[in-house]
Structure 1
Amino acid sequence: MATTFLTAEWRNLIFANYIVDRQVLEPLLPYGTELDEFNGVCYGSLVGFYFQRVKLFGHISVPFHGEFEEFNLRFYVRRKTETGWKRGVVFVKEIVPKLAIALVAKNLYGEPYATHPMRHRWEVDGLTQHIEYEWQVGADWNHIQVSADRLGHPLVAESEEAFITEHYWGYTRRRIDRTSEYEVVHPTWTIYPVTSYDVRCDVATLYGKAFAPFFEQPPVSVFLADGSAVTIKSGAAIR
């Protein structure tokens, strides 16, 4: 039976979604998974959000590591099981400002974490909210920022937002013939329409030159989700 590895709250998640050629993603597929598509195309998402109230095993607080930003690039996969399809995500890289978080995730669980200086800004102006996450690459600051309505709407089934946010499994390649699988449990999130956005990300430096052309184009969609409490359950090895 899966045990709770981590509980936290994820807040103010910005999703900037791009179409990425499957030939770029296929070499990164963990064993036992295949690419998941929405309307016949593969998506890669740049995601910025904020961790709060982080606890290990559901009750252990780590001093000075209870709150921090994260920025990641992820894509979408699925795995066929005896009970049906499991839909999940694979991270190309996850950026956090806390070295200890990155070391534990990388060394113990094989997650592709990196440490960069980060900061964020949340502001409210009347009926509009402004959310921004920044991370430093070399001497430059990158960012993802949105202005969005404060009035959100429930997630619509079968929508693009549902496809992006409702992949409840994580998959990590450990070897060519071994994959770690874990479950991410959270309720559906409220979606806030974005009225303006700006993304500045040094994709070639962070993820490789093969990704760069797809992120030089405008994203096909950008939205903000409110987030919620999240439970990450330790998973199984797929061989």
Structure 2
Amino acid sequence: MSFLKAEWRKLAIANYEIDPALLEPFIPKGTELDTFQGKHFVSLVGFMFLNTKLLGLSIPFHTNFEEVNLRFYVKRLENDIWKRGVVFIKEIVPKSALTFVANTLYKEKYETLPMRHTWQVDGQKRTVTYKWKKKGLWQSFMVRSEVDPTIIGPGSAAEFITEHYWGYARVDRDTTNEYEVTHPKWMQYEVTGSEIDVDFGKVYGGPFGFLDQRSPSSVMLAEGSKITVEGKRTLK
């Protein structure tokens, strides 16, 4: 049985090129940084969890909720096959029970904060906004797009960002947790504009404060799908 089943929907994704040296302290043992066209990226990702079940059970008041995370991309060689995955700097949700479970069982970096979102369609324009409140100040990530989704092309930056099917968490310098995430290939919406009002240093820590003055290399809006998160495996 999958550890978690849900839908991830309307994933707003802002991708920033980053100096790999800044990511070195966060790389789990047994993995290495993954690149797209020789460049390293971190991504700010906001989306909705819908119809969430843990071990097949719906938890009251924990079925539908927002998440915003900051993540980067790694790969791990196993049996001559590269596993492509993500590592989270921080994952923000409005539900404390989920934070407790994820941090305790998976050694992830969840934080519970007040959150809200809006999804709007006006004619041929779609607007998706995610907000979270840190130390009394609302942070926000808004994306505008066309209404109809399109296919994510093979070999594209969007494919690189969305086609990582493993999660890795650094337990300590010698131990890594690995878990599989399953979902079909996603569709995306053509982005026509975005607004990012985030104090990266305050939310994600000093090393990422430089993102306040950095424009993203690209912004995406993916439709998402049903997903599963499988049980963890500890690597040493």
| TM-score of Structure 1 vs Structure 2, range by shorter chain | over 0.9
1:207 alignment partner in structure 2? 204
1:54-104 per-residue CA deviation (whole Å, 9 max, x = no partner) reads 0012x2110110010000000000001114100000000000001111111
Secondary structure of the equivalent of 1:11? strand
Give the AA of the match of 1:37: T
Q: Distance in 1 between matches of 2:212 and 2:218?
A: 12
Q: Does 1:232 align with 2:221?
A: no
- Contact between 2:67 and 2:93, CA under 8 Å: does it hold in 1? yes
TM-score by structure 1 length? 0.97
1:173 alignment partner in structure 2? 170
Secondary structure of the equivalent of 2:102? helix
Return 5+ residue gaps in structure 1 as ranges. none
Moved over 6 A (4+): none
- Contact between 2:175 and 2:235, CA under 8 Å: does it hold in 1? yes
1:54 alignment partner in structure 2? 52
Give the AA of the match of 2:32: E
Secondary structure of the equivalent of 1:231? strand
Q: Does 1:113 align with 2:110?
A: yes
Q: CA deviation at 1:235?
A: 2.8
1:5-47 per-residue CA deviation (whole Å, 9 max, x = no partner) reads 0000001000000011100001100010000011111100000
1:35 alignment partner in structure 2? 33
1:22 alignment partner in structure 2? 20
TM-score by structure 2 length? 0.98
CA root-mean-square deviation:
0.9
Give the AA of the match of 1:125: D
Secondary structure of the equivalent of 1:181? strand
1:207-230 per-residue CA deviation (whole Å, 9 max, x = no partner) reads 222112144211000010001000
Q: Distance in 2 between matches of 1:64 and 1:137?
A: 22
How many positions carry a matched residue from both structures? Answer: 236
- Contact between 2:200 and 2:211, CA under 8 Å: does it hold in 1? no
Q: Distance in 2 between matches of 1:213 and 1:68?
A: 29
1:99-137 per-residue CA deviation (whole Å, 9 max, x = no partner) reads 111111112221100011000001110111110000001
1:194 alignment partner in structure 2? 191
1:89 alignment partner in structure 2? 86
Give the AA of the match of 1:176: R
Return 5+ residue gaps in structure 2 as ranges. none
Give the AA of the match of 1:213: F
Q: Distance in 2 between matches of 1:100 and 1:214?
A: 30
